[in-house]
Structure 1
């Protein structure tokens, strides 16, 4: 059975976390309090990430136009 790239990344991330728990302590603390950009992008996929970037750009343009 072939795993998807997302499943492979998650499996490798978990294996690394098991292999080096002390080294990941600060990473775990930081991502627990604010969330991780990697987890957000993995959850959204490439289409969702593209839409998020597009919304941010359009929002910035509209903000700059109405502030003038």
Structure 2
């Protein structure tokens, strides 16, 4: 029996939850779904770019 990938397992749980409570999907998934879909490298890159942007903004636009 092959192991199920975490992304696949998470998506299967999400689909089961939507079947139980379809109104829960009206407002969207939010940050956990976004981060889960992007992966840790992309999420880290976005966070690093935001931090660098705030630092550069603080240095040049005081």
TM-score, normalization: structure 2? 0.80
Which SS does the other structure have where 1:2 is aligned? coil
Gaps of 5+ in 2: none
Higher helix proportion (structure 1 or 2): 1
Deviations 1:7-63 (A, max 9, x none): 1111101101101223x1xxx3322xxx73233212221111111110000000001
Using CA pairs below 8 Å that are at least 6 residues apart, which structure has the higher relative contact order?
A: 2
Q: Secondary structure at the match of 1:40?
A: helix
Tell me which stretches of 4 or more aligned residues in structure 1 moved more than 3 Å: none
Mind listing any 5+ residue stretches in structure 1 that lack a counterpart?
none
**1:2 CA displacement:** 1.6
Structure 1-normalised TM-score?
A: 0.75
Aligned-pair RMSD on alpha carbons? 1.6
- What is the aligned length? 61
